[in-house]
Amino acid sequence: MTIHKEGYTSIAVAAIIFGVINLLSFYFFSFGQPVVTWIIFILTLGLFFFIISFFRIPKRQLTIQDNAIVAPADGKVVAIEEVQADEYFTDRRIQVSIFMSPLNVHVNRNPVSGEVSYSQYHKGKYLVAWHPKSSTENERHTVVYRKEGKEILVKQIAGALAKRIINYLQAGQQVKQTDEMGFIKFGSRVDLLLPLDAKILAKIGDKPQGGVTVIATW
């Protein structure tokens, strides 16, 4: 396991806060109320390790498969439905939504290889990620991939806790399947809009692994 580069600053700040809190706790409580000192230490240590774990990149055997659309994120599949596209596309598409809790790995990966034909950031609200309007009203970044004349859309959506969406892709860029596309900090959601003729392999309640689990084929 390694630590993602987006976590370096957050972990450094968390380490400073951890140190300051426990120095103050030791100074004020260690002699008269040592139990309080230990409680504070254990709680802050647990929070510090949580911050570190949030930015983890576990070692995995990533899936490289020409006709596969792999999961762009870890999480839980919360929606599979036919929808009217509201950005870039004008037709109907199959939407697969993956909810990412703060406990999930938050690296986002390219679901396919190909050309980035569209990459656009949108400011917005911070509704809870499972809210029906989060995909259209929350802060989000939309990417469209084109491969052999077919296109799919991936939308990174901020949640109530996520305050920063990071995306590394630009229109016209050639990308490889499972390479990093971005990162979302502290809870979020990722939507995929797939062609109607795509064969969906995922089911509601599935817990895919980003870059590993095949969501659909085309």
Catalytic residue list contains 53 = no
138: DSSP letter:
B
Residue 75: C-alpha distances to residues 126, 136, 171 (Å) = 19, 20, 27
What distance in Å separates the CA atoms of residue 98 and residue 144, rounded to the nearest whole number? 17
Residues near 37 by beta carbon (within 8 Å), at least 6 away in sequence? 22, 25, 26, 29, 30
Quote the DSSP letter at residue 185.
-
Q: For residue 155, what are the CA distances in angstroms to 10, 97, 182?
A: 24, 9, 11
Catalytic residue among 25, 119, 135, 188: 188
Residues acting as catalytic residues: 188
